[in-house]
Amino acid sequence: MVDDLTEAGAVREALVDIDAVFLIWPLLDSAPAHDLIAELTTAAPRVVYLSSTAIDDQAARQSDPIVQVHADMEALLHDAGLRPVVLRSDTLASNARGWVQQLGAGDVVSGPEAARTAVVDERDVADAAVTVLLAPDNHLDHGPHLLTGPEVLSRADQIAHLGAALRRDLRFQALPADLARSRMLTDGRPQPLVEALIAASVWRPESHRVTDHVERLAGRPAGTFARWAIDHAAEFN
């Protein structure tokens, strides 16, 4: 079933006979989530929310709009009494798919620099989510669970791993924020998303945190980005 999370009627219909929900909020504003949360409160399923490890629980405001909307969504879910299980994910390895077009045209990936983080395989996030969606109530830990990969990587590091997997000499070229903004807008990305991505590249701090939370939930260590690159190499050829 495909529908709109901001349409209360569609959400109500989708929640019939559902006892667990894995929620990924796709917008840069939490305000449209109020009707969704009201429907979740009425239906009372278990809610597992995919959030961000970049949240600073001590900060009045978060570093950038992407992290802020995650913090706002967590607060809305808690304030509604839903007691969500919160999975805070680090940078997803699958974000690298955004480089497919550039790598089809050459060996240089250019874009805004980003803070180094422990990039996590989206398959590990999925397995962690399945664990908490299916866990018995008396074994449920509401978290937040901090899902990271096993090593902290820069964008240049990720490009190097992709190059090894593709057997190509690839490199990353960091662009100034204004030039990166212009190129993303020219590529057709929505302006609010572009501004959020630029803000993240400028203001989000590095994270050197590496956790074992994937292993605790999924029962195996988190996979490396190098492994992800090998497994997905065909997508970049």
Q: Which domains does the chain have, with CATH numbers?
A: 8-236 (3.40.50.720)
How far, CA to CA in Å, does 180 sit from each of 71, 94, 112, 130, 186? Answer: 26, 20, 6, 37, 10
Portion of the chain with pLDDT greater than 70, in percent: 99
Mean pLDDT of the chain: 96
Predicted confidence band of residue 119 (pLDDT cuts 50, 70, 90): very high
What's the pLDDT at 176?
A: 96
Mean pLDDT of 124-128: 98
172-222: pLDDT as tens digits: 999 999 999 999 999 999 999 999 999 999 999 999 999 999 999 999 999
Residue 2 has pLDDT above 80, yes or no: no
Record the pTM. 0.94
List own/partner pairs for 195-198 with CB under 8 A and 24 or more apart.
195/65, 196/28, 196/64, 196/65, 196/66, 197/66, 197/112, 198/112
7-47: pLDDT as tens digits: 999 999 999 999 999 999 999 999 999 999 999 999 999 99
